[in-house]
Amino acid sequence: MAFVAACLLVLVCLASSVGNDKAPPDTTVEVNEGDDAILTCSLSLGVKLEKEVFDWKKGDLEVFLYAAGIYYGNSNETLRRQGQDKHFEGRVSHFQEELKNGNASIIIRNTKVDDSGTYTCVFPKKRRFIVQLVVKPIRKDRSRENIPGVAPKPSTMILDPTERGVPLKCEVHGASPKPKLEWQDIEGNVLPAEEPRVSESRDVYNVTLTTFVNKNRTNRFRCVATQDAINHETADELYVPEKMFEQPKAVWIAVGISVGFIVGVCSTVALTVKRYSILKHDTDSAQQRADATACAARNNWWIKCKRLLSPWATRDHTIRMQTYPEESVTLNVTENKPAE
């Protein structure tokens, strides 16, 4: 234990000079966020490190310490009390079998964007190595990272089928910056959609996007919300039942039948009314003629009967009345056409 304490004291003495080192890195490592990164550090071949001491730091942060077989992660209480930075706990380890070859490299698992920076590998009184780590961000779900304004998982729903297909609606509320919504099929192909509806209050956005889909191989669709400024992406998937694609056809067939029935009824009613009007007109005309004839017979003077002949008394009509013996009076009416 005294040996470990002595090693720690040496490393603390070296920390300030290491943390402020402005020398160019010996190597640069680039990885995508979430991948593992190997930071290389080694002495000459043939130098065994099993009983040596080496320490990895990032600035003033303690990353990994190895001291003659005692290291972070092997349940040593003294090292745990000295304090590996919590940011690296459980994610950093060395290559035990490579120590005999002088290899003091470490691996950082499941890298994060803020792992990027300058790392130093220190061998007390021997040498130090500088490694530059670059972690490139990727777009992924960051809902659990406590980022202000991160878009929640979209809310999706299936609406009533129409002649255009089955409408799918996607909503995201309370996001900042403004999220971009897309509907995709299960293969990731972007589907045509209506213009998104957006509302905003104090730079907080609510966005709704609707698309119309038709039957495909899986009937599965995804709504994807992205915020490129914070490399955030989240999605929700839904399945559209087979029967939803059959319903519009049945509905429109029913609508067609109903419309046809209504048109047929209206046509029948209109024809009946027209026939009744014609019949009534013919009946009324016959009655008026009979009344006119009787009037002329009684008065022997067509002028007195003119109001009875008004439907026919036009410039195109010629009314000829002849007077016969009182018991034999005839009214002759010659018509060209009904009055306009």
Fold of 155-240: Immunoglobulin-like (2.60.40)
Domain boundaries defined on the chain: 2-136, 155-240, 245-334
Residue 83's region, left for phi above 0, alpha for psi from -120 to 50, else beta, is: left
Q: Edge to edge, what strands does the sheet with 27-32 contain?
A: 27-32, 127-136, 117-123, 53-58, 61-67, 70-71
Give the residue among 237, 236, 235, 239 at the shortest CA–CA distance from 217.
Answer: 239
2-136 with 155-240: one CATH topology?
yes
Per-residue pLDDT of 290-334, as tens digits, reads 665 665 555 544 444 555 455 444 433 444 444 444 444 444 444
Query: Which residues in the chain show pLDDT less than 70?
Result: 1-23, 74-82, 247-340
Please tell me the predicted confidence (pLDDT) of residue 75: 59
**Residues whose CB is less than 8 angstroms from the CB of residue 338 and which lie 6 or more positions away in sequence, other chains included:** 311, 312
Please tell me the predicted confidence (pLDDT) of residue 202: 94
Phi, psi of 318 (to 5 degrees): -120, 125
Please tell me the predicted confidence (pLDDT) of residue 1: 47
Pairing status of strand 318-322 against strand 330-334: antiparallel
Please tell me the predicted confidence (pLDDT) of residue 312: 45
Instruction: List the beta strands (DSSP E) in the chain.
Output: 27-32, 37-39, 53-58, 61-67, 70-71, 92-94, 106-108, 117-123, 127-136, 155-158, 166-175, 180-185, 197-201, 204-213, 220-227, 232-239, 318-322, 330-334
**Residues whose CB is less than 8 angstroms from the CB of residue 211 and which lie 6 or more positions away in sequence, other chains included:** 167, 168, 183, 191, 192, 193, 194, 221
- Asked whether the CA dihedral 14, 18, 19, 22 is positive or negative, the reply is positive
Please tell me the predicted confidence (pLDDT) of residue 31: 97
Q: How far apart are CA 163 and CA 256, in angstroms?
A: 13
Q: Given this structure, which CATH class describes domain 2-136?
A: mainly beta
